[in-house]
Amino acid sequence: MIEFAARKRPDAPALIFEDRCWSFAELCSEVDRAAAGLQRIAAPGDRVAIVAENCPEFAICYYAVPKAGMALTFLNARLRPEEHAVMLADAQPRVLMGQDRYLARIRAVGGSALGDGEAPPTTVALGAAGSAELAWGQLLAEHLPEPVTGASENDLAWLLYTSGTTGRAKGALLTHRSLTAAVTATAIARPVVPGDVYLFPFPLYHVAGYNMLNHHLHGRPVVLMPRFEAGRFLELVPAHRVTSVSLAPTMLAMVLDHPDSGSTDLGSLRLVAYGASAMPGDLLRRGLTEIGCDFAQGYGMTELSGNAVFLDPDAHRRAVSGEEHLLGAAGRPSPLVAVRVVEVFEDGDTPDPDHLIDVPVGTTGEIVMRGDQVTRGYWRDPQATAEAFAGEWFRTGDIGRWDDEGFLYVVDRKKDIIVTGGENVSSREVENVLHDHPAVREVAVIGIPDEHWGEAVCAVVVTREGSQLEAEELVELSRARLAGYKKPRHVLFVEELPKNASGKVLKRELRAGVLELLA
């Protein structure tokens, strides 16, 4: 993709970060040098892990690592070093790249994070070497990368870890083919037009980064933020005449609520694309009124290499004109992916897991998908891979329904994943931590609506008889062992949890009861 853009528009701006701008020719040259440098210290098929906030080197690695025949392995920079260590032990990368502060924290954990006695990964600092073995400048070679023998479009390009219902993160396998398919799907649904300038405020360690590939493929510049800050966003849009941007609803609310919002010229914006959670009606009306541009939504997930279902600007205009039910729609499927809503068979309900029955329009069922952009499975986890597929159909774990116009609605998540501020939180992972408190007899973690974050983590706790427990103790326990965004924002104590006959916690009933209690 980057070579194509460099041939087509070599002198055009490609990447803008802080006060520097790279042309497509310059960016392509950096990619080639980084790929050549990686080939000196690793081999095709190796994993190259990266942990960093957004920076130009991270963007270069998007292209350079796969070009070297290796798999870029993303580590969420917001996780704790102990969480990174688990993923590194699983991925077993040959190279570990990152900003020095993250590398130092991982090195302090030691053990399996850096090889556990086996050959540890070569560390590369995205900047000065610091505690790393190589600095970024030392990695870059002065010659072109060698062609990768046996390279295939089905080779692994990116390895992204995603929250699992078991609490253990799983590495989704994204190939050259799946990423290209996701980019193509988005290009069809949300065309990039001449003159577009795209601003990317999400972390590059999210699958949302595939949007950068889409704009580079079209020869359009990407303005990269180190991290999202509403005030800085309001500075960058007029400074670079930004025309399109991806935002989570939480981010949009921060922008509109910022003191400088009303006095900032956002007239260059033609499109705000959002995802991760539904857009509240009042927030959409504010956006349409105060910004005056189109809005579009994408529904997807890491395992789909990006978005596969799209709600276009016309549907949003209909929604604010009275058809508010469309705000609950995920959209219509891309023409490059097949989507079905089928009867859900839980384990043990049927001896034939490949037997899927489409449900009638308006009836809920599990959303399953098939297409080139679907992951080929999970890294070193054949059981999880087998559970994720029913024959050739990928089971999203989301419960949905169709309407008469062909709009898909996501009505619930079968997987107990909470999406807070655009980040995925595994309910099971938080439950496992809280269970370690000696005063906790039972705990169930759910997501509840939150005006600011989309969803908030809520822990519902049954204490052991005779014990005393304060909510803050559980919050502190979570804070000590998990990333900050995973800690409960609400802790409720109850006498018992709702369960079915087999003893399984009925989280839908629990969620309804909690919402009633909080109201």
If asked whether residues 344 and 482 sit together in one domain, one would say: no
Q: Is residue 112 part of a domain?
A: yes
The pLDDT assigned to 350 comes to: 40
If asked whether residues 68 and 81 sit together in one domain, one would say: yes
Backbone angles phi, psi at 76, to 5 degrees: -65, 120
Q: Is residue 342 part of a domain?
A: yes
User: Does the structure show a pLDDT above 90 at 139?
Assistant: yes
Of the chain, the percentage scoring pLDDT greater than 90 comes to 71
If asked whether residues 35 and 165 sit together in one domain, one would say: yes
If asked whether residues 46 and 157 sit together in one domain, one would say: yes
Q: Is residue 451 part of a domain?
A: yes
- Burial per residue of 446-480, b for 16 or more beta-carbon CB atoms within 10 angstroms, e otherwise: bbbebeebbbbbbbbbebeeeeebeeeebbebbbe
If asked whether residues 8 and 151 sit together in one domain, one would say: yes
For residue 463, give the amino acid letter.
T
The pTM (predicted TM-score) of the whole model is: 0.84
User: Using one digit for the tens of pLDDT, what is the confidence trace for 480-507?
Assistant: 999 999 999 999 999 988 876 545 678 8
CB 464 within 8 A of CB 439: yes
If asked whether residues 369 and 450 sit together in one domain, one would say: no
> Of 376, 392, 413, which one is at a domain's C-terminal end?
413
Rounded distance, CA 43 to CA 414, Å?
Answer: 39
The pLDDT assigned to 279 comes to: 77
Alpha helix segments (H runs only) across 20-110: 24-41, 56-67, 81-91, 100-109
CB 200 within 8 A of CB 222: yes
Q: Is residue 227 part of a domain?
A: no
If asked whether residues 376 and 500 sit together in one domain, one would say: no
> Of 174, 189, 223, which one is at a domain's C-terminal end?
174
User: Using one digit for the tens of pLDDT, what is the confidence trace for 329-354?
Assistant: 999 999 999 999 998 665 554 435 56
User: Does the structure show a pLDDT above 60 at 78?
Assistant: yes
If asked whether residues 38 and 157 sit together in one domain, one would say: yes
Rounded distance, CA 400 to CA 414, Å?
Answer: 10
User: Using one digit for the tens of pLDDT, what is the confidence trace for 196-219?
Assistant: 999 999 999 999 999 999 999 999
> Of 174, 199, 234, which one is at a domain's C-terminal end?
174
If asked whether residues 363 and 446 sit together in one domain, one would say: no
Structural domain containing residue 130: 2-12+23-174
Backbone angles phi, psi at 290, to 5 degrees: -85, -30
CATH code where residue 488 lies = 3.30.300.30
CATH code where residue 118 lies = 3.40.50.12780
Q: Is residue 163 part of a domain?
A: yes
CA-CA-CA-CA torsion for 423, 170, 78, 187, nearest 10 degrees? -50
Rounded distance, CA 282 to CA 284, Å?
Answer: 5
For residue 213, give the amino acid letter.
L
Q: Is residue 44 part of a domain?
A: yes
If asked whether residues 85 and 51 sit together in one domain, one would say: yes
Q: Is residue 262 part of a domain?
A: no
If asked whether residues 466 and 480 sit together in one domain, one would say: yes
Rounded distance, CA 296 to CA 42, Å?
Answer: 41
**Count of domains for the chain:** 3
Nearest residue to 48 (alpha-carbon basis) of 17, 4, 5, 92: 92
If asked whether residues 44 and 80 sit together in one domain, one would say: yes
